[in-house]
């Protein structure tokens, strides 16, 4: 039996017939029993030469010792099915699956309806150039950048009231950073508003606190496994509800830190670097890795974003200083949610569509390319709001994994479309 087993290649799939006996085996996760093997059968033999050894890919990436072999990310991704066998990769993907399940279950219990929206579109939902264009039976089309327009139509116009979707999102952004993918899993929600758009923020806050607390409680083993390969500090969040600050207050915190107007304009979108700086400031000042920032400048938000009525209708307020009922949410200094109250009034929506499309700095879609969306608001629409979450980015930041590609089963970026 020993001779037979010694000739099996690593990663060969075997069936074992054995007796469970009491034992003390300190080096195993199951330390109080062992298997006394009676028979062993090779079910599927692995090739003798593996792309890399599971042991080499399971070492702490920050503490490799002299002479030890480490496995680079490209090698891992080129042979993804082997990399996914490592304990850390298994743990990451199980946390990812749990996160999506917690999202859906929480919203189900809140009375939301799960939806499935088209991914083949006749026009871009967000506008701009970051769309994958294709031919659809002789007509131009594109892959969906988000379910944005359809989830609004269903929640506000079709009387579903509260909806959510978990599905693929496509972004043709030629970005090779550690936090961007060309295809990722979006977790979107949209809901009617009864009195104030803070109802959306309240729900998001309860949703994320539920996800964070449950992951820490139910996935402690997986988090420990990940930390042995990718060491990280436990994720901090405020148990009584997330911190909220306004965009202006965020800018003020950056000013106090020393970020000048030239480095970050008061009405410009935050750069990636300044997002991370703000995240560090918030963590030091408020002891949290998670916070919400709202009242963003209108000029940097999509056409369907509801303007802040105080500034938008104030004749003395310059257009570049108009604010909006919109928000972003951050984990460890990186954006994970973009959301807002949406425009439900047809005339105002049409006004904003035309303005954003003709504004060189905004780049909104052509009105005719989203005509069916616009028409839906002619017949009465509830006030509503929502947001979109990137699942892979949430998992990356919760576990402080160094690259978002590690949280995607088969990542797609500008240089990778296989395997």
Which one of the listed residues 94, 179, 206, 416 is annotated catalytic? 179
CA gap 357, 372 in Å, rounded: 17
Burial of 281 (0-12, 13-18, 19+ CB in 10 A): middle
Q: Which of 207, 192, 196 is nearest to 162 (CA)?
A: 192
How far is residue 399's CA from residue 415's CA, in Å, rounded to a whole number?
Answer: 25
Residue for token digits 């929506």? 349
What is d(CA 265, CA 285) in angstroms, rounded to the nearest whole number?
Answer: 23
- Give dist(CA 126, CA 150) in Å, integer: 12
Phi, psi of 22 (to 5 degrees): -70, 145
Set 180, 244, 255, 354: catalytic member? 180
Residue from 326, 393, 405, 408 carrying the catalytic annotation: 393
Task: Give one DSSP letter per residue of 241-310, joined into a string.
Answer: --EEEEHHHHHHHHHHHT--TTTS-TTSPPPHHHHHHHHHHHHHHHS-SEEEEE--BGGGS-TTBPBPHH
Rg (CA), the chain: 25
**Contact between residue 287 and residue 272 where contact means Cβ atoms under 8 Å apart:** no
Q: Is 179 a catalytic residue?
A: yes
- Annotated catalytic residue, options 338, 342, 344, 392: 338
Q: Is 171 a catalytic residue?
A: yes
Residue 94 a catalytic site member: no
Catalytic: which of 190, 335, 357, 405? Answer: 335
| Cα 232 from Cα 402, distance rounded (Å) | 10
Residue 173 annotated among the catalytic residues of the structure = yes
- Beta strand residue intervals within 102-138, DSSP E: 113-114, 120-121, 133-136
135 classed as catalytic:
no
The helix or strand, by DSSP H or E, that contains position 102, with its residue range, turns out to be helix 87-109
Helix, strand, coil percentages for the chain (3-state, nearest 5)? 35, 20, 40
- Catalytic residue flag (residue 335): yes
Which residue among the candidates 59, 126, 165, 171 is catalytic per the annotation? 171
Is residue 136 within 8 A of residue 119, CB to CB? The reply is: no
Q: Which residues are catalytic?
A: 171, 173, 179-180, 335, 338, 393
């Amino acid at each position: 039996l020993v001779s037979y087993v010694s000739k099996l290649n690593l990663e060969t799939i075997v069936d074992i017939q054995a007796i469970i006996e009491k034992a003390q085996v300190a080096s195993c996760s199951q330390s109080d029993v062992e298997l006394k093997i009676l028979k062993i059968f090779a079910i599927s033999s692995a090739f003798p030469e593996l792309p890399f050894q599971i042991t080499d890919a399971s070492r702490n990436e920050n503490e490799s010792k002299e002479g030890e072999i480490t496995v680079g990310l490209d090698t891992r991704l080129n042979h993804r099915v082997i990399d996914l066998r490592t304990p850390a990769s298994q743990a990451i993907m199980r946390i990812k699956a749990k996160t999506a399940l917690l999202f859906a279950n929480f919203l189900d219990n809140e009375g939301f309806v799960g939806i499935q929206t088209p991914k083949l579109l006749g026009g871009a939902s967000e506008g701009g150039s970051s769309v994958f264009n294709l031919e659809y039976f002789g007509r131009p089309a594109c892959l969906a950048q988000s379910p944005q327009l359809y989830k609004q139509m269903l929640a506000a116009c079709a009387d579903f009231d509260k909806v959510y979707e978990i599905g693929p999102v496509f972004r043709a952004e030629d970005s090779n950073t550690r936090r961007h993918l060309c295809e990722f899993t979006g977790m979107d929600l949209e809901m009617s508003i009864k009195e104030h758009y803070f109802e959306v923020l309240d729900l998001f806050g309860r949703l994320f606190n539920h996800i964070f607390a449950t992951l820490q409680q139910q996935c402690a083993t997986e988090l420990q496994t990940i930390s042995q390969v990718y060491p990280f500090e436990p994720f901090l969040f405020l148990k009584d509800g997330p911190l909220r600050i306004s965009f202006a207050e965020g800018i003020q915190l950056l000013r106090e830190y020393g970020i000048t107007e030239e480095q970050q304009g008061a009405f410009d979108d935050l750069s990636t670097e300044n997002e991370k700086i703000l995240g560090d400031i918030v963590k030091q000042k408020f002891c949290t890795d998670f916070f919400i920032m709202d009242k963003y400048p209108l000029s940097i938000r999509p056409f369907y974003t509801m303007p802040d009525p105080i500034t938008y209708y104030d004749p003395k307020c310059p257009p570049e200083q108009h604010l909006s009922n919109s928000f972003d949410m951050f984990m460890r200094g990186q954006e994970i949610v973009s959301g807002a109250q949406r425009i439900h009034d047809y005339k105002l929506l049409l006004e904003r569509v035309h303005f954003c499309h003709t504004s060189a700095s905004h780049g909104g879609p052509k009105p005719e390319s989203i005509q069916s969306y616009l028409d839906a608001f002619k017949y009465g629409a509830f006030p509503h709001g929502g947001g979109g979450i990137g699942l892979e980015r949430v998992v990356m930041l919760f576990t402080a994994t160094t690259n978002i590609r590690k949280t995607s089963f088969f990542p797609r970026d500008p240089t990778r479309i296989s395997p």
